[in-house]
Amino acid sequence: MSEREAMPADVVVVGAGPAGLAAAIRLKQLNSELEVVVLEKGSEVGAHILSGAAIDPRALDELLPDWRETCPLAETPITANHHWVLTRGGKWSLPEVLMPPLMSNKGCYTGSLGTLCRWLAEQAESLGVQVFPGFPAADVLYDESGAVIGVATQDMGVAADGSHKPDYQPGIELHAKYTLFAEGARGHLTKPVKARFELAKDSSPQVYGLGIKELWDVAAGLHAPGTVIHTQGWPLSESETWGGGFLYHQAGGQVALGFVTALDYANPWVDPFKEFQRWKTHPAIRPVLEGGRRVTYGARAINEGGWQSVPKLAFPGGALVGCAAGFVNVPRIKGTHTAMKSGMLAAEAVAAAIAAGRAHDEQAEYDAAVRTSWIAEELATVRNAQPLVAKFGGALGTVLAGADMWLRTLRLRLPFTLRHHSDASATQRADIYPRIDYPKPDGVVTFDRLSSVFLSGTNHAEDQPGHLLLTDPTVPERINWPLYGGLEARFCPAGVYEYVGVEEGSPHLVINAQNCVHCKTCDIKDPTQNIEWVTPEGGGGPNYPNM
């Protein structure tokens, strides 16, 4: 018999991001009597949320039409939009008239997604939703038929050796008629659920980018609220890697800037963190930062697979919503609106099912609703953009992607959809490529990993079981070091993976799990898929103030 207490609910939502909170709010709007519980692994709502963010308010307008009256996001509408192609020492602007209308930021806003989620949580709680931060869902619960019947939160107070510390508390089982998984990209429960129900059987593999972000206070004379800038080209063009940067002038004299590296890069010497630092030295970027102050830092994997990578969304007892399913519009660099809309559609299907006396069955209505919604229309229009760039490179790929989007915008539907290959399988041997000589940080505009992680507020209790698991502990020394040059030390933006003993000729991987910012890159990019990310003790990880 389980020692865990059980708590009943109508609906359990795993993850207090925009999709999960939108689902919770919509459920209570439809039926105020429903018992809705939201679990969040961060120490508070927003603590693990990281995005640019330039936000399309379409879903927010549908969910809470009066949001502009009280939501902090309304403070900074986007007023100027620039797209730069960078060379090593210069840039040229891509005229907005050449881009399809869907690429416009007219009517959009820029601000902190974490702050938006805190505001959404307040709206949810005012409707009676129970939101529990610091309680990560650790296990999925199934009944005898194999249907999902809820989740169990993680045991607290477990020592690294598995013994119970004096403050030990067993997790709680939350039993629900339906469970919505809104964990974000590469969710640790979503991953086994997708495998168990073969949800990705008929879809292309999901692919990802690693987004690294900093928030800066900048000089008043350099601050232009509402201006957003996106870049492509240098420095990734030098390693035949794809990605780009963003620089958003937001409220309060702050600039949010960041860099996304597509994780399908072949060259294992590429270091996404150092590419970001190098990008900041460009003569079009550095002047904005000089004289300013770096406030915080963070990183997170981003879905980039698009429409062809969206899996089956429903299964007995549950559904995937938001980035757990993968609704990011990569060319627009936006996913909040599609994530929220998916949560709302899931809520509508679940509320109707509960009203009809159903429970623990498959929400086929939700899957069908998404595939006939504006989510589908928007993502189908851009479905070939990312794979065209991945196949043909930044220059030619951008031209082909633009042509494909224009043709689809004009309803000249092309009769093909390009597919993806997994990011892990794209990695090539280190001996094929020369090492990349990255400049040392100057401490003014560019910085090292550890000082950056410090600004993320990351903290994990030292005496707890490891949350970064190696399926085969011999793989790092036997495969990853000799074949890939120990790429774990480079793809991680937080200094978690470190090879020691190199000078002595006996390299050995050390995992500094306390540095982990929960970006999930290691779970994605490791060539042998030997690293498994599981949830650490509740409240651990980054504590982003307004990312």
Q: Does residue 97 lie within any of the structural domains?
A: no
What SS3 class is residue 216? strand
Residues 371 and 330 in one domain: yes
Check: CB of residue 121 under 8 Å from CB of residue 131: yes
Instruction: Clarify whether residues 135 and 188 are in a common domain.
Output: yes
Question: Among 30-44, 189-203, 353-367, 457-471, which is the least confidently predicted range?
Answer: 457-471
Read off the pLDDT band of 2 (50, 70, 90). Answer: low
Whether 398 is catalytic is: no
Mean pLDDT of 500-512: 94
- Residue for token digits 């890069």? 265
Predicted confidence (pLDDT) per residue in 182-236, tens digit: 999 999 999 999 999 999 999 999 999 999 999 999 999 999 999 999 999 999 9
Same domain for 18 and 61: yes
Query: Per the domain annotation, does 300 fall within a domain?
Result: no
Does any domain span residue 220? Answer: no
The secondary structure of residue 435, as a DSSP letter, is: P
The residue among 424, 373, 404 whose CA lies nearest residue 205 is: 424
Do 62 and 141 fall into the same domain?
A: yes
In percent, the amount of the chain with pLDDT more than 90 equals 87
Beta-carbon-side half-sphere exposure of residue 104 (alpha carbons within 13 Å):
8
Catalytic residue flag (residue 108): no
The pTM (predicted TM-score) of the whole model is 0.95
Claim to verify: residue 351 and residue 401 sit in the same structural domain? no
The answer to whether the beta carbons of residues 266 and 17 sit under 8 Å apart is no
14 and 156 fall within a common domain: yes
Separation of alpha carbons 461 and 291, rounded Å? 36
Task: Note if 117 is an active site residue.
Answer: no
* Residues 161, 36 share a domain: yes
Catalytic residue among 71, 108, 323, 516: 516
pLDDT tens string 360-412: 999 999 999 999 999 999 998 888 888 888 878 777 878 887 887 778 888 87
Catalytic, out of 71, 108, 117, 522: 522
pLDDT digits (tens, 9 = 90+) for 65-101: 999 999 999 999 999 999 999 999 999 998 887 778 8
Q: Does one domain contain both 396 and 520?
A: no
Q: Tell me what pLDDT residue 227 has.
A: 97
Closest CA to 8 of 45, 41, 43, 34: 34
| Contacts by residues 402-410 (CB-CB < 8 Å, ≥ 24 positions apart) | 402/98, 402/99, 402/100, 405/100, 405/102, 405/103, 405/331, 405/381, 406/100, 408/380, 408/381, 408/382, 409/100, 409/101, 409/102, 409/381
- Per-residue pLDDT reduced to its tens digit, 335-367: 999 999 999 999 999 999 999 999 999 999 999
**Sequence-ordered alpha helix ranges (H) in 433-497:** 449-455, 475, 481-484, 488-491
Asked, for residue 229, whether it belongs to a domain, the answer is: no
User: What's the token pair of residue 332?
Assistant: 């627009």
Q: Residue 490's domain is classified under what CATH number? A: 3.30.70.20
CA dihedral sign of residues 529, 531, 537, 541? negative
Q: What pLDDT score does 245 carry?
A: 97
Give the H or E element holding residue 55: strand 54-55
99-120 pLDDT, tens digit per residue, is 788 888 999 999 999 999 999 9
Q: Would you say residue 166 lies in a domain?
A: yes
User: Is a pLDDT exceeding 60 seen at residue 36?
Assistant: yes
- The answer to whether the beta carbons of residues 75 and 111 sit under 8 Å apart is yes
Closest to 538 (Cα-Cα) out of 123, 50, 169: 169
| Identified catalytic residue from 51, 110, 112, 398 | 51
- Distance (Å, whole) CA 250 – CA 77: 9
474 is a domain residue = yes
Indicate the residue among 417, 436, 465 that finishes a domain: 417
Whether residue 1 is predicted with pLDDT greater than 70 in this model: the reply is no
**What is the identity of the amino acid at 230?**
H
| Beta pairing partners, 210 | 261, 301
* Catalytic residue from among 58, 278, 300, 449: 300
Contact 52, 246 (CB under 8 A): yes
Q: Catalytic residue among 76, 239, 492, 521, which? A: 492
Mean pLDDT of 26-39: 98
Residues 503 and 355 in one domain: no
At 339 the three-state DSSP class reads: helix
The Cα 35–Cα 9 span in angstroms is 5
Residues spanned by the domain of 390: 385-417
- The tally of domains found in the chain comes to 3
Question: CATH number, domain at 32?
Answer: 3.50.50.60
- Average pLDDT of the residues of the chain: 95
The verdict on 518 and 471 lying in the same domain is: yes
How far apart, in whole angstroms, are the C-alpha atoms of residue 165 and residue 159? 6
Same domain, 528 and 484: yes
Kindly provide the b/e burial profile for residues 323-348, where b requires at least 16 CB atoms within 10 angstroms of the residue's own CB: bbbbbbbbbbbbbbbbbbbbbbbbbb
Can you tell me the distance from the alpha carbon of 437 to that of 271, in angstroms, rounded to the nearest whole number? 10
C-alpha to C-alpha distance for 327 and 199, rounded to whole angstroms: 15
Is 506 one of the catalytic residues? no
The answer as to whether 104 is a domain residue is no
> How many whole angstroms separate alpha carbon 276 and alpha carbon 260?
8
Interhelix angle 113-126/18-30, nearest 10 degrees: 20
**Interval 506-532 mean pLDDT:** 96
Annotated catalytic residue: which of 336, 398, 422, 521?
336
Q: Please pick, among 323, 519, 521, 535, the residue that the annotation labels catalytic.
A: 519
Q: Tell me, yes or no, if 79 is annotated catalytic.
A: no
| SS3 of 274-292 | HHHHHHCCCCCCHHHHCCC
- 424 domain-assigned: no
Q: Which of 466, 465, 471, 486 lies closest to 531, judged by CA?
A: 471
Shared domain for 487 and 452, answered yes or no, is yes
